Structure 1
Amino acid sequence: MLVWERPEPPERPAPGPLSREAIVRAAIRLADADGLDAVSLRKVAGALDVGPMRLYGYIDTKEELLDLMVDAVYAGIRADGDGWREVLRSHAEAVRRAVHRHEWLADLIGGRPQLGPNTLAGGDAVLAGLSGIDLDVVVPAVAAVNAYVIGAVRREIGERRAERVSGLDQRQWQAAYGPYLQRTFATGRFPAVASMVRDGPHLTAGETFRLGLEFLLDGIAARISGGGSTPR
């Protein structure tokens, strides 16, 4: 029986009350502070001031705990808006905000089944927002948006982590690597890249995310209009 269906053990008043919700909250606090490496059943038990064995009445493995953590975050991710485009856009932006609040989420989304009740409710809301469109379009469209969001937020978080490791902000990075790029581009070997760097738009991470998402939504809109499906 999966953790979503397994009942919690009866409450024990001593040495302290415990629940899956309390365990998950403690695990999320640890992960927010120090990343997923800081999350183990032993460390979570320590944060709750209980013995590690007490947790096994509620959670069998660390993998179950990670699943519960992801689903707890998805409780705050909801798609809304009028029409399929706004629903997909709001869902994508909500996932991005959640990853920025919980950096560790970037390491878990997309790489494991998401079957918890909050995650399923979020997916149901997205699909409901696309009702009236042929499922042959809806299924790949939702998959494409999810793949875009996962890739984009993982890149953002990867860049944020690299910046922390290097100790260089964007201006310092440019000062460190700019001369090398200038010398390299002066050889004429990479004209397209040189043109992009010199003349292309320099967008923030948020602007890049939203513009790329609009390109994707434009493609979905073209497929919907070309396929004869009628969105709400």
Structure 2
Amino acid sequence: MNQSPWQPISPEKPARPVREPLTRERIVDAAMALLVEQGYEAVSMRKVAQALNTGPASLYAHVANKKELDQLLVDRAAQEMEFPEPDPEHWQEQLKDSMRSMLKVMRSYPGVARAAIGQIPLGERALESTEKMLAILKAGGVPDQAAAWAVDLIPLYVTATAFEESVQGAWAWTTEDIEGFVTQLRGFFEGLPPEKFPITIALATALTSGSLGDERFEFGIQVIVAGLASLAER
């Protein structure tokens, strides 16, 4: 039927832009971006919802709460960690390389360490990382209970290192600031009462030497791997 000549012509309604459906992947993407750009404290369900141009209630259909979101962030980071195929002849170096890879990833995502502290990682990728680390330990003959405790101790050490670095990074200290602090700290140790702290005074230089990053981290992984090697069954 033809339109009546006196009937007003209805303007065409502009098509609404199609919204990309909300998924767990998109939520984790947005949360990870906030984590890297603004730090762990900035990551809340409300802020993630704002970044996705939606309301917090929409997020809860995909993520139960902030605790689960932390798990998802840790799991996202875990997928980038590298673990070699177990080699009984080189398991100690493989374990060290695995710890270096874990720290490298956590440095790439400042704030992930804070999300991981105090949690038992139960995501699929995090569990795969645990499985691969257990395989390296068992290839080296580490007893079952020691291996089980080691896969708790190792991430705890790496996570604590990364978390400490992220806290120090937030201070925005320059090289000169760090050198000045170390000099003051050494002077503090040297000025302690000698009758109460003779060894601390004697080791004042050693206590304030070594870089805050890789050098001390390497010492830690050497101690951990040497301790596990001493327990290995031959």
Normalised to the residue count of structure 1, the TM-score between the two structures is 0.77
- Map of 2:160 onto structure 1: 151
CA distance in 1, matches of 2:138, 2:107: 30
The number of residue pairs the alignment matches comes to 212
Cα contact 1:185–1:194 (8 A) shared by 2: yes
Aligned to 1:221: 229
**Matched residue SS, 1:192:** helix
Cα deviations across residues 162-208 of structure 1 (Å, max 9, x unaligned)?
A: x33899731232455565555x2476642212222235672112111
How far residue 154 of structure 1 moved from its aligned partner, in angstroms, is 3.3
Greater shift in the superposed pair: 172-181 or 15-24: 172-181
Q: Which secondary structure does the structure 1 equivalent of 2:172 belong to?
A: helix
Residues 41-64 of structure 1, C-alpha deviation per residue, up to 9 Å, x if partnerless?
A: 221122122333322221222222
Which residue pairs with 1:68 in the alignment?
72
Match of 1:25 in 2: 29
Note the residue ranges of structure 1 that are not aligned, 5 or more in a row.
1-12
Q: Which has the larger radius of gyration?
A: 2
CA deviations 1:191-228 (Å, max 9, x no partner) are 2122222356721121111112112211211111xxxx
Matches within 5 A, 1:23-172: 23-80=27-84, 82-83=87-88, 84-132=91-139, 133=141, 134-161=143-170, 163-164=171-172, 169-172=177-180
Given that 2:23 and 2:62 are in contact with CA atoms closer than 8 Å, whether structure 1 keeps it comes out as: yes
Distance 1:176 1:207, change over 3 A: closer
Q: Is the 8 A contact 1:32 1:102 kept in 2?
A: yes
Q: Match of 1:6?
A: none
Identity level (%): 26
Structure 1 residue 29: deviation in Å? 0.6
**TM-score w.r.t. length of structure 2:** 0.77
Residue identity in the other structure for 1:136: Q
Instruction: Specify which structure has the higher proportion of helix.
Output: 1
8 Å contact from structure 1 (residues 41, 52) kept in 2 = yes
Shift of 1:150: 3.3
Return closer, same or farther for 1:164/1:214 CA change in 2, 3 Å cut-off. same
Q: Which runs of 5+ in 2 are unaligned?
A: 1-16
